[in-house]
Amino acid sequence: MPKRIQFNSYGGPEVLCYCDCEPPALGPRDVLVRNHAIGLNYIDTYYRGGLYPVPALPSGLGTEGAGVVEAVGAEVSRFKAGDRVAYASGPLGAYAEYHALPESAPVRIPDTVSFEQAAAVMLKGLTVQYLLRQTYPLRGGETILFHAAAGGVGLIACQWAKTLGVKLIGTAGNAEKAALARAHGAWEVVDMSREDFVARVHELTGGEKCPVVYDSVGRDTWERSLDCVAPRGLMVSFGNASGSVTGVDLGILSRKGSLYVTRPTLAHYANTPERLAEMSAELFALIGAGLLRVEINQRFPLAEAAAAHTALQSRRTTGSTVLVP
């Protein structure tokens, strides 16, 4: 029987079970993908832990993968069996040998992009696309702050910002991670183990601060990140690695410079198949041109998904991690 990862209750990595499952049923507008590689993302831990409730338990996990279309529903017109595809959204359940998705979820991947690259880059790369190209459309010459610059999203952002002519100030947890972010195009990196990021941003910008700050850390950095945003600038809070930002006092935005704040998600940017295809094409073009390297620094068998979650949450990973069925 096919295998998948599921969880029967919320909790730590130990709740993940490598189980037999029935082959996914296909609706008339669904495609069945045989996964060759599966992406690991921090958001997966939010679902597993209950921060983001799932529709019902037991539940599958994961939203990102790449593989070959095995079968299609009777009304599917965009794909056929044998197509190479990748996806970053859809119903939970990507941590599996086979995954059924609505026809609107996958995109074709060019021959220049491997299954592992696609699985490692879809969610992270599309996140960077909407952050840098849509949420705050960077045009070149800006100096920005991007937290967790040595993570999977961060390393892509470092490279993409450099191609745009943007000076990216990154933060990283130690000297080794700071060096990794620099090697991927960060203009400067703040080593959070020994430096104050607010003071360094003020120093690097001559007190001007940044027109936009990207923060995926959440609770631990939220308020101090606001001190790095220039007057009338934008604070982009797009993750909760240290916990959710709660109890926000809107008056603080006024006191710190009439700031703007947004909490974006990919689903509201890649909200049509056409838009998803456009965003993916830009991402794949950068990879094909050699301007964006996909750093897969960890690989785990699908059966060891719990170990992968432990490594991710203990901050022992850099770049991207993939699960291999």
pLDDT of residue 244: 82
Q: Are residues 117 and 73 in the same domain?
A: yes
Q: Are residues 113 and 145 in the same domain?
A: no
- Which domain does 61 fall in, by range? 3-121+295-324
The first and second tokens of residue 150, run together, are: 């040595």
Q: Are residues 199 and 299 in the same domain?
A: no
pLDDT > 70: what percent of the chain? 100
Q: Are residues 14 and 116 in the same domain?
A: yes
Phi and psi torsions of 287, nearest 5°: -65, -45
| 270 assigned to some structural domain | no
Distances (CA, A) of 160 to 124, 138, 156, 177: 12, 11, 6, 18
Distances (CA, A) of 78 to 63, 72, 100, 184, 217: 20, 10, 15, 36, 38
Q: Which has the closest alpha carbon to 244: 49, 54, 64, 9?
A: 49
Domain termination residue (choose one: 263, 284, 311):
263
Q: Are residues 116 and 27 in the same domain?
A: yes
Task: Name the domain count of the chain.
Answer: 2
pLDDT of residue 251: 95
| 133 assigned to some structural domain | no
Segments in the chain below pLDDT 50: none
* Structural contact between residues 283 and 125, judged by C-beta atoms closer than 8 angstroms: yes
Q: Which has the closest alpha carbon to 238: 276, 211, 213, 265?
A: 265
Q: How far apart are the first and last CA of the chain?
A: 13
pLDDT of residue 46: 92
Three-state secondary-structure class, residue 281: helix
The first and second tokens of residue 223, run together, are: 């308020």
The residue type at 295? E
Q: Are residues 199 and 246 in the same domain?
A: yes
pLDDT of residue 245: 84
CATH number, domain containing residue 317: 3.90.180.10
| 194 assigned to some structural domain | yes
Q: Are residues 165 and 244 in the same domain?
A: yes
Q: Are residues 115 and 16 in the same domain?
A: yes
Q: Are residues 215 and 241 in the same domain?
A: yes
| 99 assigned to some structural domain | yes
Indicate the pTM of the whole model.
0.88
pLDDT of residue 256: 96
CATH number, domain containing residue 149: 3.40.50.720
Task: Tell me how far apart the alpha carbons of residues 45 and 59 are, in angstroms, rounded to a whole number.
Answer: 13
| 276 assigned to some structural domain | no
Q: Are residues 32 and 79 in the same domain?
A: yes
The set of residues, in sequence order, having a beta carbon less than 8 Å from that of 261 and lying 6+ positions away, is: 234, 235, 236, 237, 253
18-26 contact pairs (CB < 8 A, 24+): 18/302, 18/303, 18/305, 21/96, 23/98, 24/93, 24/96, 24/98, 24/99, 24/100, 25/100, 26/71, 26/72, 26/73, 26/100
| 59 assigned to some structural domain | yes
Q: Are residues 145 and 242 in the same domain?
A: yes
| 238 assigned to some structural domain | yes
Q: Are residues 114 and 22 in the same domain?
A: yes
pLDDT of residue 147: 97
pLDDT tens digits, residue range 31-49? 999 999 999 998 899 999 9
| 285 assigned to some structural domain | no
